[in-house]
Amino acid sequence: MSAPREVHVAAPVVAWLGNYYDHVYQEVKRQTGSVNGTADIVATQRRGRATIVSVVEVKTTLNLVVLAQAVRWLHCSHFTWIATPKFSVKGHRESYLVKRILQHEGVGWLQVGRLTDEEARYGTDRPSADTWQALGQPGSWGTVSEVVPAPFHRKVNTRGLLADLTEGQKTFAPAGSAGGKSWTPWRATCTALAEYVKEHQGAALGEVIQRIPVHYSTMASARHSLLGWIRAGRIPGIEARVEGGAVRLYLK
């Protein structure tokens, strides 16, 4: 049986969180604040006037890297977990030590397992006392067990992380995607531009920039940069033509 990839381990965790949280975001790149990095999964839930924020870091092996990645989110998330494949630690002694370290740091541990023949045949999306199980084929990654409960951290500052969450992060890049693929302000601008041109072919570049949300600080920088990206082919499906002294955009 082939070794798992991070996306395989992350997918059941995303589904598991979807049972308990209002919104689940994937590959969330921090744009503000002191944390420089990307969270594999961020989930939010509204409780009265407050928003509960949870973060999960996913790895195919249990090591200090994933623990360090999780710890950096503790100051801005109420719950923080690491997620690894089941049996990523061999032996009761090693497992006990890992649990002690996680409990000391205030980080939870989710173990993701493969579905057995019986689970795949009769299973449904359901929470249980110990393990959550998704629908899937025998041998696919589809169970989530919380072997170390994540403690609730009350004194956290979630404002920066919440400000970085966008709708595009829910579906653009699955958690654990290789190559650092993530939803960014630049990608949001490019997507908005392409959608506008689809409905308004031949629109002048200046008009497009005025009608869509852009992440550039000035109109001049937006015009210069976007025209360069279009001519370089970095905005798929869009081409620029000079007509009557104006740069106009069309679908290819």
Asked, for residue 38, whether it belongs to a domain, the answer is yes
**CATH number of the domain to which 143 belongs:** 3.40.1350
Q: Which domain holds residue 204?
A: 185-251
Same domain, 56 and 155: yes
Q: What is the pLDDT of residues 160-181, one digit of tens each?
A: 899 888 887 887 767 777 655 6
pTM of this structure:
0.70
Checking DSSP bridges between strand 108-114 and strand 23-29, what pairing results, if any?
Answer: unpaired
Q: What is the pLDDT of residues 201-238, one digit of tens each?
A: 999 999 999 999 887 888 899 899 999 989 999 888 99
Q: What are the φ and ψ backbone dihedral angles of 215, each rounded to 5 degrees?
A: -95, 5
Same domain, 167 and 201: no
Torsion of CA 33, 35, 41, 46, to 10 degrees: -40
Amino acid at 7: V
Closest CA to 226 of 140, 210, 174: 210
Same domain, 37 and 158: yes
Of 177, 199, 215, which residue is a domain's last?
177
For the chain, how big is the Rg over CA atoms in Å? Answer: 22
Same domain, 36 and 143: yes
Same domain, 97 and 29: yes
Q: CB-based contacts of 236: which residues, under 8 Å, 6+ apart?
A: 194
